Structure 1
Amino acid sequence: MENFKSFNLIYKQGKSTEIRFWFIGLLILSIAIIFLPWTQNIQTKGNITSLYQEQKPQKIYSPIAGKISYWRVKEGDVVNQGDTLVKITEIKEDYLDPNLIARTQDQLNAKKGSLEYYIQKVQATDAQIANLRQSKSLKKSQLENKLRQLDQKITAEKAEFTAASNEQNLAKDQLDRYQQMYKEGLISQTQFQQRNVTAQNAIAKKIAAENKVNQTVQEISNTQIELKSVDQEYEEKINKANSERLQSLGQIETNKGEVAKLSNQVTNYSIRNGMYYILAPQSGQVIQSKKAGIGEIIKDGEELLTIVPQSPNYAVEVFVRPVDLPLIAPGQSIRFIFDGFPAIVFAGGWPEQSYGTFSGKILVVENAINPNGLFRVIVQEDARYKKWPKQIKIGAGVKGIILLNDVPLWYELWRNINGFPPDFYQAKNDKNAAYEK
């Protein structure tokens, strides 16, 4: 059998083999591989969004209840800010009058006229009160002057009364003497009678003087009473005028409130008229129309359609598990695979070598957990690397690989075998580094 050539080719007994060289080579290669750098990472999923609220898809609602009159746009149209989207007409009976604003304005003007009337009435009442106070002062001055005159008059009348009294006393003495002389026959009866008449005249004169004094005293008393009644009389008139003034002031305040209310109604009606035309709040594309047809009734606050801005500042929102949250911090790098864009990915430790991935930087890590039990992370474009494709749209899905520390491959294998978590990430200050870690 040793002479057979086939036997010599198949069986190599006693000959040297190359298997050990292959084994040694594979062993050396394996040792070299486990010392290669490995990037620890967290893989997650998310969606494309925008950094700014005004650049996200905006739902358009009807500000008032109404009936659709006509549409100015259709789904897919691109509109500019201020373009008319849809016109609605009124359905509430309070606003059906086409001349509602003009009629309310007439009511407002009438109420303003009434307000002006009451203002003028208050001014007239103020003038009336001032005149009454002046009249009161003049009346009191007049009565006080009259009292002073009566004081002077009574002084003179008292002097006249004193003189008349003295004259009457003298006449009485003379009459007594004449009576005695008449009894003694020294004088005639005619002379006695003449003296008696003189005495009677003196008495009458005294009585007249006394009556004058009494009349003047009574007049002084009446004047004093009248002086005291002046205050009461004019105070009543002034109080009555003040009462009318306060009533007018109350009407003024009431009218002011009604004027403000009517002014508010005119403004509200004018603003409501402007709400019949629903305008585009920003430029964008019209999508997802919720209403169709003409004459359809809509409620206030009911959704009509959605406008998507044309060129938003894109961002990505990804969601991470609570167990991974301590490993994530703003400034970390993350690689993205956008849905619809081809990519060859080394999803493990060499995402930098992947083809078709895009770079981002973590901007915000939210502190509140979502209903799905994950934490939301906002990522913005990293402008130092390849720009994100212009064809991406808000809402499209993405897959993210959050990059952590660079470690040897043997360390990562050892960590996974023992079930240890990845190392905590610490950002570097090296501005020239390929990624901020």
Structure 2
Amino acid sequence: MLNIAKESIHRFVDLSKYNAAKRVSRPNHYKYFNRFLLVFMLIAIIVLFLPWTQNVSGNGYVTTLTPGQRPQTIQSPIPGRIEEWYVNEGDFVKKGDTILHISEIVNQYQDPYLVERTIEQQEAKSRSASSYSNKIIALENRINALGQERNLKLSQGENMVRQLEFTIISDSTDLIAMRNNLEIAQRQYERFRQLNEEGLKSLSDVEAKRLKQQELLAKVVSQENKLLTSKNRLSNAITELNRIKAEYSDKISSAQSDIASAASSQFEAEAEVSKLANQSTNYSIRQSFYYVTAPQSGYINKALRSGLGETFNEGEQLVGIMPANYDLAVEAYVDPLNLPLLHTGENVRLQFDGWPAIFFSGWPNASYGTYGGKIVVVETFRSPNGKFRILIAPNESEKEWPDRLRVGSGAYMIALLEDVPIWYEIWRKLNGFPPNYYQPANSGDPSILDGSTKSMKPKNSK
């Protein structure tokens, strides 16, 4: 502990003869300090009532307005080996210019005449399909001929049946007549036999009638045999007619079956022709991939694959290209707490890396070196970094963005909200409250807003 004595040094030393003591011991220095504090307090009170523009800030980077204008990499849709480079890094290429030449590394596509041989197979299959078509025509002609021949033979058979039916009718009539004659001869024979017994007729007359009876009986038997023969011939003719129908039905069915088989083979050949045509087209398109071309006009940024003879798989990145014509935009990210305060069409201020700027967030009119922008897209889903993405396009009513600005440069965005006193802003931040929520004056209009901050009225004005 310090042993501090209660006695003053003034008893022993005269401090008035020292300049430092004279300067310190002035009795009026409290008056100047009090005046300074009073002026400072007055200035502080006045500053607390000055207007302060609330804002929402976010970091981002320069990008392009449309996805097709952004930097991209060129991939090869097929695996291959690098054979020759036609460009250097930094070269300008037009759409369709050849960037590099690759060769095939897959065994089944290495034949240099693969397309020609596939086309030859296609033509052979096409001729095979044509031959099946000719075979079908020949079989159809055969069916027509068989049909005509069947109709002819059926007509002949039907005529034969009708003739035999008439013959049977004629034989039946003759048989009836002969039977009638036989009955008459039998009655005559009986009468002559009775008359012979009575002595009125001679025996020779009786024998003559009996002989005639026997002759007529023989004719009746012969006519019956003839009638049976005609009936048998009719039965045979009907059987032959049915046989002709069955025979030609079998021949026509066989020809129709051959037509179906030929048609099936034709369809298979045509399917094979289509398959080979598809293969030849695919092979031709695949050969066109041997020359990697520029999808759009732009500058070659970096060769991601270098050297000659280096192999790569399909879909691997080969070279990067930056489009020559693009519309710049800024992609910024804001916290979810501030997302309801941003609307499409609002004006924002931007600061780019590499362009010095003096920026006063609360007094935008005093800012220097910033550029105007307008919100065109407010993302409705959270990004992987936990923030929401907004896309900002240049504000055409203000000065243009720097010509030397490049895609990928860093950017800082500040969206200006409503004006409030500084004391209110300090109170809001000390309590952790968000900026005042507001809606654009024309929020009911679904079209893009004009972006003027003056047209935006606060919902809860303080």
Match of 2:422 among 396, 403, 409: 409
Cα deviation for residue 93 of structure 1 reads 1.7
- For residues 122 and 431 of structure 1, do their structure 2 counterparts lie closer, same or farther at Cα, with a shift above 3 Å needed? closer
For the Cα contact (< 8 Å) 1:33–1:409, is it kept in 2?
yes
2:77 to 43, 48, 63: 63
Superposed displacement of residue 199, structure 1: 4.6
Residue 77 in structure 1 maps to residue 91 in structure 2: yes
Q: Which residue matches 1:33?
A: 47
1:344-359 → structure 2 map (5 Å cutoff): 344-346=358-360, 348-359=361-372
**Superposed CA offset, 1:385-427 (max 9, x none):** 1111111111111112221211122221222233322112433
SS in 1 for 2:249: helix
- TM-score, normalised to structure 2, is 0.83
Q: CA deviation at 1:117?
A: 1.9
Counterpart of 1:377 in structure 2 is 390
Correspondence for 1:277? 291
Q: Give the Cα–Cα distance (whole angstroms) in 1 for the partners of residues 396 and 147 of structure 2.
A: 86
- Structure 1 equivalent of residue 432 of structure 2: 419
User: Gaps (5+ residues) in structure 1?
Assistant: 1-5
Q: 1:419 to 1:257 in 2, by over 3 A?
A: same
Letter in 1 for 2:423: W
Q: Secondary structure at the match of 1:392?
A: coil
SS at match of 1:281: coil
In the alignment, the residues of structure 1 paired with residue 302 and residue 242 of structure 2 have an alpha-carbon distance, to the nearest angstrom, of 89
Report if the CA contact (8 A) 1:129-1:241 is conserved. yes
Report % sequence identity.
39
**Cα deviation per residue 1:74-128 (whole Å; 9 max; x = unaligned)?**
1111100000011111122211221111111111111111112222322333333
Residue of structure 1 aligned with 2:225, choices 193, 202, 211: 211
- The answer to whether structure 1 residue 54 and structure 2 residue 68 are counterparts is yes
Q: How many residues align?
A: 430
Residue identity opposite 2:408 in structure 1: G
How far apart are the structure 1 equivalents of 2:454 and 2:403? 23
Aligned to 1:224: 238
Measured in 1, the distance between the counterparts of 2:408 and 2:283 equals 40
Q: Give the secondary structure class of the aligned counterpart of 2:278.
A: helix
Q: 2 CA distance for matches of 1:324 and 1:179?
A: 150
**Do 1:318 and 1:378's aligned partners in 2 also have CA atoms closer than 8 Å?**
yes
Task: Please say if 1:394 is aligned against 2:393.
Answer: no
- Counterpart of 1:294 in structure 2 is 308
Q: Distance in 2 between matches of 1:207 and 1:270?
A: 93
Structure 1 residues 242 and 181, CA, compared in 2 at 3 Å: closer, same or farther?
same
Counterpart mapping for 1:18-417 below 5 A: 26-172=40-186, 198-346=212-360, 348-417=361-430
Q: Alpha-carbon deviations, 1:308-327, whole Å to 9, x = none?
A: 01231111011112222222
Measured in 2, the distance between the counterparts of 1:192 and 1:13 equals 206
Q: What's the CA shift for 1:64?
A: 0.8
> How far is 1:162 from its partner?
2.4
Shift of 1:60: 0.3
Give ranges in structure 2 of 5+ residues lacking alignment.
1-18, 443-448, 457-462
For the structure 1 residues 357 and 436, does the alpha-carbon distance in structure 2 shift closer, same or farther, using more than 3 Å as the test? farther
Partner Cα separation in structure 2 for residue 92 and residue 420 of structure 1 = 64
Distance 2:292 2:427 in 1: 64
Moved more, 321-330 or 376-385: 321-330
| Partner SS state of residue 368, structure 1 | coil
Cα separation, 1, equivalents of 2:174 and 2:417: 132
Give the CA deviation at 1:173: 5.3
Q: Is the CA contact 1:331–1:436 (under 8 Å) kept in the aligned structure 2?
A: no
How many angstroms apart in 2 are the aligned matches of 1:263 and 1:98? 18
Mapped contact 2:333–2:390 kept (Cα < 8 A): yes
- The answer on whether the counterparts of 1:318 and 1:376 sit within 8 Å (CA) in structure 2 is yes
The match for 1:3 is: none
Structure 2 vs 1, CA of residues 61 and 427 (structure 1 numbering), >3 Å: closer, same or farther?
same
Quote the Cα distance in structure 2 between the aligned partners of 1:433 and 1:37: 19
CA contact 1:79–1:280 (8 Å) conserved in 2:
yes
Residues 132 and 238 of structure 1 are in contact (CA less than 8 Å); yes or no, is this contact kept in structure 2?
yes
Alpha-carbon distance in 2 for matches of 1:419, 1:94: 68
Quick check: 1:333–1:435 contact (8 Å CA) kept in 2? no
User: Secondary structure at the residue paired with 2:386?
Assistant: coil
Partner-residue secondary structure (3-state), 1:387 = coil
- Choose 348-357 or 124-133, whichever is displaced more: 124-133
Between 37-46 and 141-150, the greater mean CA deviation after superposition: 141-150
Conservation of the 8 A alpha-carbon contact between 2:333 and 2:389: yes
Q: d(CA) in 2 for partners of 1:417 and 1:193?
A: 165
Tell me: CA distance 1:193–1:13, structure 2 relative to 1, closer, same or farther (3 Å): closer
State the Cα distance separating 1:305 from its structure 2 match.
0.7
Q: CA deviation at 1:197?
A: 5.6
Q: Is the 8 A contact 1:46 1:397 kept in 2?
A: yes
Q: Secondary structure at the match of 1:426?
A: strand
Deviation digits for residues 18-44 of structure 1 (CA, Å, limit 9, x no counterpart): 877766655554443333221111222
Contact kept? 1:328, 1:425, Cα under 8 Å? no
Asked whether the 8 Å contact 1:405–1:424 carries over to 2, the reply is no
- Separation in structure 2 between the aligned mates of residue 201 and residue 426 of structure 1, nearest angstrom: 137
CA distance in 2, matches of 1:277, 1:96: 16
Distance 2:38 2:27 in 1: 22
Q: Over the residues paired in the alignment, what is the CA RMSD in angstroms?
A: 3.2
| Cα contact 2:95–2:293 (8 A) shared by 1 | yes
Of stretches 389-398 and 109-118 in structure 1, the one that deviates more from structure 2 is 109-118
> Which residue identity does 2:390 align to in structure 1?
V
